[in-house]
Chain A
């Protein structure tokens, strides 16, 4: 996926620049009557990064965003922008602009007037406004549509205008509320690429809210997974996918096979887990630091790291017999559902590298196996 390259590259290379904190959210709680929408959330957002709040509906991600914009006031806690306490600042005084999910373009104004609206509120001289509007129109490739009304534009064009409008005032922080929510799938992946490109060219810090994990992973440098008002994990897309810290995150992002078990052997360099679902023990290539009382643990392994073969592996651990229960052909890869002797069904992604290779079919005897460091041992 070409879309991911720039973000992905930066994540892999690591940030060379020293991280400078722009937004600091300190123990923020928001209650609506008795329901707690955001529960004691603390996080920091660095200058120049794209930060995604990812969660299902009712996870509190939108409420958190609206508190950043100033439309909701936290019940408890403070929010700082560039060291300044903005918790009680009304939205029209914050140097923060938002791109709304519905784009919220002013229907009675032309594209140019929409973009100029924020600048007019700042009492900017007319000539400067015109230059800035022209600049923004050029940035989003909408120059020839300047005199159009919003209802004369397509969905993608409206999004460009909304983006230009929220960037016109050069805000310190840009908020994106489900930026691709109103677009169809094809346009979505195109716009993700373009949006990241524009945001990076402008160099604005950005917080986005989304329920689409692919979108968050493509666009953001760091992701916070939200669940029931609290943050389950914060990290880069790779951190979150490859080293989730809880079952919740693990199950939320992508597919996963989970094995419940007991730690039977725990050393500094390796550990053994005995799972009733498997005939053989799981060998983990590092210690798992269990407590003495509670030895139970969950071992999580992603379907693409669980390999299917027809030959019996020669090593002692990390494999199991099974029969092919079902196969789903998805073009790029196939999903094998393999039933283990214990009755548990595991998923395995097999890349369709050959056009027509000989591969296991329904009810075939197969073996699933994985590397020592393919999975993650989870305590919670």
Chain B
């Protein structure tokens, strides 16, 4: 079971915090297929957030195929989330790119800003 922690000052929409924390728990193996997510009642009683926010987050997770709602029983994990194998070609290319960026004199913040702006350009509109 996961417990959600809502940070009201983060600037990230509350339902997205629940989506992200659930995904994080899936990546870390804290949640596995078959596990039940807390009920909306359980989440709102401990976090004092609006019930619809929890339902919105669960709908989003369901839309992404990560969980499924079973009527009268609760919401259950369907799939795991991998971070991708450490030796995947994409990671290799990114490592090369980071090495070149550093060689070109960019510091950590420059690289991070560049990466974020490219991310933004390519994933605009994908909230989670």
Are A and B part of the same complex?
no
